Structure 1
Amino acid sequence: GPGYPYAIDGHGRVHGTLLTAAPGVYGELLGLLDHLEEYLGPGHPRNLYERVVREVELPGKGETGQEPSGAGTRAWVYLAAAAVTRSLRTSGNVIAEGRWITGRAPGGPRTP
């Protein structure tokens, strides 16, 4: 993509961070994430991403000490919107092993 990653439906694995909202702030967190990802609603023509539900695999005990390896849950995932996906399929680069490494501190600004 244009300096930051997009996930698209297809084959392969994407590694990421699963956020869990504190009680009482789910709606606020989802609104903040939608704003960050420039998600304006299902199928909106200006979306960069679509927010969809997917089954995600949680890390094994060796990583967090909490869940058995391969345990799963359903979560919101931001995938590239349709127009972005078409562009990425023709001119995007696959990220090795599905791990985007930028050399910047977590939570730092995106580079457009």
Structure 2
Amino acid sequence: MQSVKELRVRYWIYLDGEKFFGLGRAQLLKHIQESGSISNAAKAMGMSYKKAWAMVDDMNVKAKEPYVIAKKGGKSGGGTELTEAGRKMLEAYNNLNSKLASIAESEKEILNL
């Protein structure tokens, strides 16, 4: 039986020596962008609203500019959306992921995987 081998690369962005941004937060931003809701994003990820809100708050406080903002209610209701800074961070993170995945794929032979 042949085993399935994978080379995975995970990384985090640190700010002042503490984890600031990684795969989980990128996924959270993606779900917020798609759903317009922290609550729906949390559900999609199988996490509590409280944890998702804490992650958003931490990013908003520590980043130079907030990544997520609340939209006021009204007929169509409120919600949340990514700011330009949030969209740029998500895009930059995804681009780096693609580059690292490509490097990892090219190194599989060297590692005899």
TM-score, with structure 1 as normaliser: 0.29
Determine which structure has greater relative contact order: mean sequence separation of CA pairs < 8 Å that are 6+ residues apart, divided by chain length.
1
Q: Between Structure 1 and Structure 2, whose CA radius of gyration is higher? A: 2
User: Larger % of helix: which?
Assistant: 2
